[in-house]
């Protein structure tokens, strides 16, 4: 399983990053990371567009779902049937919003492995024959940022951008509280609202302990995701 992961994700990403590093002027690893992040984002673009539309559609559909829960509060089977019918009528697959996250996760692990094993430890055994071994990698990016070490400011910036991206897609509007079931729905809306703040905080905390190269990748990926959200939602 590990060998398969290396062949499909780790090895291609390592080789692509080294190829870009060898090609760009001054061999700046920071710019190489930005370029490879853009490439990954373009590969995932179709999946991400569907996910963004599904997330927004689900947010807009919440009032109707709340009405169904109130109408069939004593019949869970009918509630589930009518909810699925509502999804079908609006051409929404509730699982489609999770697909890009599942697809993106292996890329994130592979990028982490590239920094932990490939770059930091200088392990270039998995380079393809046509990719030149650059020797020791210069992890100093943009003339000041050591990508092999954590950098607090970069983690904070990433958290702020994560907040901007979450705020754009998540709806904080809550239905009026009318009864006990409505209160449950209202509480769920509050929890969703809190996630807007919780996820950026978690990003910052985790970013404090990660190599800056990985945090830079996450920052650029989040910026691109936010820009894609703006573009996708404006098309609706």
- The structure tokens 């970069």 sit at 154
pLDDT (tens digit, 9 = 90+) per residue, 140-158?
A: 999 999 998 899 999 999 9
pLDDT (tens digit, 9 = 90+) per residue, 188-205?
A: 555 566 778 888 999 999
- Looking at residue 174, its pLDDT comes to 45
- Looking at residue 220, its pLDDT comes to 95
For strand 140-141 and strand 145-146, is the pairing parallel, antiparallel, or unpaired?
antiparallel
Instruction: Report how far residue 218's alpha carbon sits from residue 204's, in angstroms, rounded to the nearest whole number.
Output: 11
Answer whether residue 180 shows pLDDT above 80.
Answer: no
Beta bridge partners of 145: 141
Q: Which 8-state DSSP code applies to residue 132?
A: P
Tokens for 61?
């559909």
- Looking at residue 192, its pLDDT comes to 60
């Amino acid at each position: 399983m590990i060998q398969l992961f290396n062949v499909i994700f780790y090895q291609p990403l390592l080789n692509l990053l080294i190829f870009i590093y060898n090609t760009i002027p001054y061999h700046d690893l920071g710019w190489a990371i930005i370029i490879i992040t853009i490439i990954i984002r373009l590969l995932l673009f179709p999946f991400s567009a569907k996910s963004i539309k599904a997330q927004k559609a689900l947010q807009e559909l919440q009032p109707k779902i709340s009405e169904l829960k109130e109408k069939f509060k004593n019949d869970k089977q009918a509630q589930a049937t009518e909810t699925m019918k509502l999804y079908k009528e609006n051409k929404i697959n509730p699982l489609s919003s999770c697909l890009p996250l599942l697809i993106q996760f292996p890329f994130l692990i592979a990028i982490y492995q590239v920094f932990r094993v490939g770059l930091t430890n200088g392990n270039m055994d998995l380079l393809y024959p046509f990719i030149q071994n650059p020797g020791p990698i210069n992890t100093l990016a943009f003339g000041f940022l050591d990508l092999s070490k954590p950098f607090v400011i970069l983690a904070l910036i990433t958290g702020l951008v994560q907040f901007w991206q979450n705020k754009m897609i998540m709806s904080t509007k809550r239905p009026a509280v009318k009864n006990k079931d409505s209160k449950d729905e209202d509480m769920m809306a509050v929890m969703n609202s809190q996630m807007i703040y919780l996820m950026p905080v978690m990003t910052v905390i985790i970013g404090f302990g990660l190599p800056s190269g990985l945090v830079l990748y996450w920052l650029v990926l989040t910026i691109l995701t936010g820009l894609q959200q703006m573009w996708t939602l404006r098309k609706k």
